[in-house]
Structure 1
Amino acid sequence: MIVTSGAMAPVGVMANPYLARPGETAVPVTAATCATSGGFLHFYTALDNALFDKYGLKVTHASLRGGPNALAALSSDQVQFVYCAGDATLPGMATGMDAKLVASVHVGLPWVLLARKDIKRVEDLKGKSVAVSRTGDLDFRVLKVLLKKFNLTEEDVKLRSMGASQPEKYQAMALDVVQATPVGPPLDVRGKKDGFNVIYNLNDLGLPIIFSSVHTNSKMLKERPALVQKFVAAVAEAIHFAEKNPDKAKTSIAQAFKLNDPDALQSAYDTFAKAVINRRMLVPANAVVEAVQIAREAGTNIRKKPEELFDNAFVENLEKSGFLRDIWGGAVPGQ
């Protein structure tokens, strides 16, 4: 209970110290996504419903392709935030690039391997091509693990770098440029309706995947930590907003994917708003350690310790300040 001058203060007045003050000028920042992904549901929703504006942030969205490109833009301060899968960026961060994870919205790998109609099993990929974003990107690394599991090599199955997001890779498969591609919701449902086959649930590989995460750089952390805190708070509110406003969240996914399939949108919503959601947004330290170790074993020149790659202080502040309890009306569900 928050009491001031002997009276109870309205809920949210004291427990949300991150909101913009009346008349406060919004601060412009640029936030990049590294792909078009259903996993960025909360970022899209925050943009479309002016949640960043509430916190005094005027966010410009830059759409970049691939974790390495996004990290390069962040390291040079062309963008101040990156919204991307942590496991897509951690290898580059560990080599010394200027970036830190400050929040992880999703933990887990919500992808399946989708293949053309004549391919029923992973073994049927022999002599075929599978689309990946780029050599070394997360989908490339995951598929290498899959091939090894099934005693296949890159000579047996070509991993074709497309330099593209999931919608473009899906289209390449539909045109038979490649014969399979990893996808997440909503494209898994669309693929089934188009007659393609789900031949493997990639989460079954059991990899310690840090998925959709907020990144920032050392300049922001040193010079404008209050803005980092506001950005993290806005994303935390977007998690609550999407859960309580499913239609608005699905509209944001529909706009990002130019998709109007209710079943596909529901699949994306159920996966990213519920199944793999990490409502407190703590970056799992053990998963960072494992990601760095995997990168080292793959030959990456590691220059940073795992603990130098993330900072949970901002998400911890949301709990300490009473912010999370305030927006959820009590304990955070499922935590």
Structure 2
Amino acid sequence: MKQKNISLLTLLLVFIAWPSGLLAQTRLKVAYPTTVGSMAVLWVAKEAKLFEKQGLEVELIYVAGSSKVVQAMLAKEIPISEIAIPAVIQANLAGADLIMLAGPNHKPGQKLMVKPEIKRREDLKGKKIGITRFGTSDDFLLRYVLGQWGLQPDRDVALIQMGGSQETLAGLASRAVDGGMLSSPLHLQAAKFGYSLLADLSAIGVDYQGAGVVTTKSYMRESPDILRRYLRAYVEGLHRFKTDKSFAVKVIGKYSRITDHEALEETYQHYAVKVMPKVPYPTVKGIQMVLDEIGSRNPKAKGLQPGSFIDVAYLKDLEQSGFVKTLYGE
């Protein structure tokens, strides 16, 4: 009897001492719409097991195109995603309740890659340009830049839905389209197929709210603790991305299926060094830019405030707790 009591006590002590991250994990499905560098923070957090550290068993699901991701979120199939603000705004204008909690991508990363015979903007007239899907960042930014050039989307230039970024690249390889919107590292692969860079949208001088952590207001009410833990892992993933280059480059290569070192290096430099801040607050100025552009086509967007599409309370709590400074040794 004495031996049995000792054994039970030993088991109890082991259970108490067992790391909390190794106990039952909360399962969570998270969607991402493209295989380019703007998704890197999510990928790094997953590969570094930072979600598990916060008691979350995250399953990453690739759903080509943010408009398809939104459909899955509204059907309550996926509670969290990594999508850009145009998809959030357009979904909410149609009655959805999406909200962005973090957004490290403050500049557009897209490049307009075209056949070599297209040398000037005017040469785009009558041509077909591949995008992922309507309602995505590719769609929004291409329409924006064409408008800046005095070209009318759909009339002067045909926008062709390809499905996803890999499908856009495949369309270029097969010459199914005359050009395509691609981000690092995929645009360098297009260059190897003989395509030329007509426009680097990261150099057009505008703030833009790209991919970030998006959920629904209803999920915020139902699962605040899960979101708090998710963002803690995400912010640590951002730190790992910015400070562990060799690991980050391997992760980008894995998810993008690109092995070219030059392409991976350029991708890392653009996102980790040039674009992403230590604390991933969404850019209000970048959201306003999107609202202005959408408002020119949809009167419902006029007068809406950028702050109505974001909630940074969780990020503020993390920053005020000293978590970010501790990560960076400040």
Does TM, scored on the shorter chain, surpass 0.5?
Answer: yes
Say which SS state the counterpart of residue 287 (structure 2) adopts. Answer: helix
Question: Residue type of the partner of 1:195?
Answer: G
Say which SS state the counterpart of residue 58 (structure 2) adopts. Answer: strand
The 8 Å contact of residues 207 and 283 in structure 2, kept in 1 or not, is answered as: no
The alpha carbon displacement at 1:128 in A equals 1.5
Give the Cα–Cα distance (whole angstroms) in 2 for the partners of residues 212 and 136 of structure 1. 13
* Equivalence for 2:156: 156
* Equivalence for 1:220: 219
Say which SS state the counterpart of residue 100 (structure 2) adopts. Answer: strand
Give the Cα–Cα distance (whole angstroms) in 2 for the partners of residues 212 and 138 of structure 1. 9
User: Does residue 309 of structure 1 match 2:309?
Assistant: yes
Worse-superposed segment, 302-311 or 94-103: 302-311
Compute the TM-score of the two structures, normalised by the length of structure 2: 0.87
The 8 Å contact of residues 186 and 264 in structure 1, kept in 2 or not, is answered as: yes
The 8 Å contact of residues 113 and 187 in structure 2, kept in 1 or not, is answered as: yes
* Equivalence for 1:184: 183
* Equivalence for 2:65: 66
User: Does residue 327 of structure 1 match 2:291?
Assistant: no
Give the Cα–Cα distance (whole angstroms) in 1 for the partners of residues 197 and 221 of structure 2. 46
Give the Cα–Cα distance (whole angstroms) in 2 for the partners of residues 204 and 60 of structure 1. 34
User: Does residue 96 of structure 1 match 2:95?
Assistant: yes
The 8 Å contact of residues 34 and 63 in structure 1, kept in 2 or not, is answered as: yes
The 5-angstrom pairing of residues 1-335 of structure 1 reads 21=20, 24-153=23-152, 154-162=154-162, 164-299=163-298, 301-302=300-301, 306-330=306-330
Percent identical pairs in the alignment equals: 23
Give the Cα–Cα distance (whole angstroms) in 2 for the partners of residues 195 and 182 of structure 1. 15
Question: Residue type of the partner of 1:319?
Answer: E
Give the Cα–Cα distance (whole angstroms) in 2 for the partners of residues 204 and 323 of structure 1. 33
* Equivalence for 2:11: none
**Number of matched residues?**
310
The alpha carbon displacement at 1:245 in A equals 1.7
Compute the TM-score of the two structures, normalised by the length of structure 1: 0.86
The alpha carbon displacement at 1:72 in A equals 2.3
Say which SS state the counterpart of residue 200 (structure 1) adopts. Answer: strand
* Equivalence for 1:14: none
The 8 Å contact of residues 68 and 89 in structure 1, kept in 2 or not, is answered as: no
Question: Residue type of the partner of 1:257?
Answer: S
Give the Cα–Cα distance (whole angstroms) in 2 for the partners of residues 282 and 184 of structure 1. 22
Question: Residue type of the partner of 1:188?
Answer: H
Say which SS state the counterpart of residue 260 (structure 1) adopts. Answer: coil
Say which SS state the counterpart of residue 199 (structure 1) adopts. Answer: strand
The alpha carbon displacement at 1:109 in A equals 0.5
Structure 2 residues not aligned, in runs of 5+: 1-18
The alpha carbon displacement at 1:227 in A equals 1.0
Question: Residue type of the partner of 1:25?
Answer: A
Answer with 1 or 2: which has the greater Rg: 2
The alpha carbon displacement at 1:23 in A equals 5.2
Structure 1 residues not aligned, in runs of 5+: 1-19, 331-335
Q: 1:22 to 1:240 in 2, by over 3 A?
A: closer
* Equivalence for 2:16: none
The alpha carbon displacement at 1:300 in A equals 5.9
What whole-Å deviation, never above 9, does each CA across 1:18-70 have from its counterpart, x for those lacking one? xx836542111111112222210111111122111111100011211222221
Say which SS state the counterpart of residue 20 (structure 2) adopts. Answer: coil
